[in-house]
Every structure is written in C-alpha cells, then in structure tokens.
Amino acid sequence: MTTHTPVAIVMGSQSDWATMRHAAETLAALGIAYDARIVSAHRTPERLFAFARGARDEGFKVIIAGAGGAAHLPGMVASLTPLPVFGVPVESKALSGQDSLLSIVQMPAGIPVGTLAIGRAGAVNAALLAAAVLALSDADLAARLDEWRSAQTAAVAERPSDD
C-alpha cells in the first residue's frame, strides 16, 4: 500500500516511545505526517525485514529509527532500504545510552545511519533533520521550518531571569 505519510518513526520497544514521542511531536508541530511503529531487530526480525524492504514502496521518504542497548535497529533498517535513516540512541538503564550511541554511530563504511544525540535531544533533532530533507522539495514546509527556527530564536532571552 502506498502512503503519503513521508516519515516513518520506528522503535525497538514500547519503552522507547517516551523518547521517540519527542520526534513525533516535533514533526506534528511542523505539520509533517508520520507513522510510528514498534519494530524490534531481535524480537520481531521478520517485521523489521518487511518494514525496511517495503518502506520506499510504501511512500516513506525518511526513516527515524530509535533503539536502546545493543541497538541494531537503525543499522539493519539502513541495510535494507535506500531511504535516509536517522538513528536515535535511546538512553539505556545500564549504560545511560552510551551503548545505544556506539551501537548506532559506528556503522562500517557503506551503510550510513545519521546518528543523533542520546535521548530527547536526538529525537527532536532527528525530526528537524527529516524536516530539512523534506523541505528541499517542499517550499511550504521550508517556510514552516524557517518560522519554527525564528520562533526558537525569539524565545531566547537576552539575560537570565531569577524566576
């Protein structure tokens, strides 16, 4: 089935949603449709293959993939689709997300995963990068993204407040 939803957000577990919802909220704030799915590289490998192999034909343009611990999901997705994949390292309990970060960022040459920061910042920035990619061929979205950035700039006070 073809979708006009440009961004897929996939995550390894329900527990990742607390982080990945920040990507979803950022996309929503920019008026970008997304489809969020749980796709575990090790618990649902068949789902992973089906999703990643079919993502382009489904009509997705960009994939945001978040996972924690031994986080193979973003790299495996990237190996199965030509679409750009942005990886979000989810903060793990045992190693505070250092494991997730290194698992996602250290892709051998040939299969890229654009890796963001650990946790919420990475999720928000993955959405902003997805928006920037889509804005290259969507002037309305480019204007919304400019507006979003201007609003962020305007929200920064000149001096700190005690309140």
Query: Structure tokens of 161?
Result: 């407040």
Q: Which residues are annotated as a binding site for substrate?
A: 13, 16, 43
Name, in order, each residue with C-beta under 8 angstroms of 18's C-beta and a sequence gap of 6 or more.
none
**Identity of the residue, 6 or 12, whose beta carbon is nearer to ligand RP5 in the bound complex:** 12
**Identity of the residue, 69 or 114, whose beta carbon is nearer to ligand RP5 in the bound complex:** 69
Contact residues toward ligand RP5 (CB under 6 A) are 12-13, 15-16, 40, 67-69, 90
Cα dihedral 60→64→68→71 (10° resolution): 60
Residue 127 CB, nearest distance to ligand RP5 (Å)? 18
CB atoms inside a 10 Å sphere around CB 13: 17
Residue 152 CB, nearest distance to ligand RP5 (Å)? 28
Q: Which residues are annotated as a binding site?
A: 13, 16, 43
**How far apart are alpha carbons 115 and 82 in whole angstroms?**
16
Amino acid found at 136: L
